């Protein structure tokens, strides 16, 4: 199983555990409340959305921003159309970052 598939499967697990928020409003609230640990923004998200998320995350060094997946890949992994998600659990976030770093 390739690394990207492992990451996508793990995102599905995080969602089932209730530790994933999705959509701009929910993710921006999680960022502002310092609950978001990892933010995944699809590579093909609009420039407007990307600019807004970049401005929200640039002040918080604790948030890891990931732009390695497409909206199609995210949507398939989560079962609904998504371009932006955030992991709110520290343990899941650390494990996800390890999986992402393995592929680099």
48-63, pLDDT tens digit by residue?
A: 999 999 999 988 888 9
3-state DSSP call for residue 42?
coil
Q: In what order do the strands lie in the sheet with 64-66?
A: 20-22, 84-87, 38-41, 64-66
pTM, to two decimals: 0.92
Q: Please state the rounded mean pLDDT for residues 35-39.
A: 97
Relative to beta strand 20-22, strand 84-87 is antiparallel
CATH code of residue 65: 3.30.1330.30
Question: Domain of 46?
Answer: 3-102
**Total number of domains constituting the chain:** 1
pLDDT number for residue 102: 86
């Amino acid at each position: 199983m390739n690394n990207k598939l492992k990451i996508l499967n793990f995102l599905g697990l995080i969602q089932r555990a209730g530790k994933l928020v999705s959509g701009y409003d929910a993710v921006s609230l999680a960022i502002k409340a310092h609950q978001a640990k990892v933010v995944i923004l699809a590579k093909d998200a609009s420039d407007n959305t990307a600019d807004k998320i970049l401005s929200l995350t640039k002040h918080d060094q604790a948030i890891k921003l990931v732009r390695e997946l497409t909206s199609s890949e995210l949507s398939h992994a989560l079962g609904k159309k998504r371009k932006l998600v955030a992991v709110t659990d520290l343990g899941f976030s650390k494990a996800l970052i390890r999986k992402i770093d393995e592929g680099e």
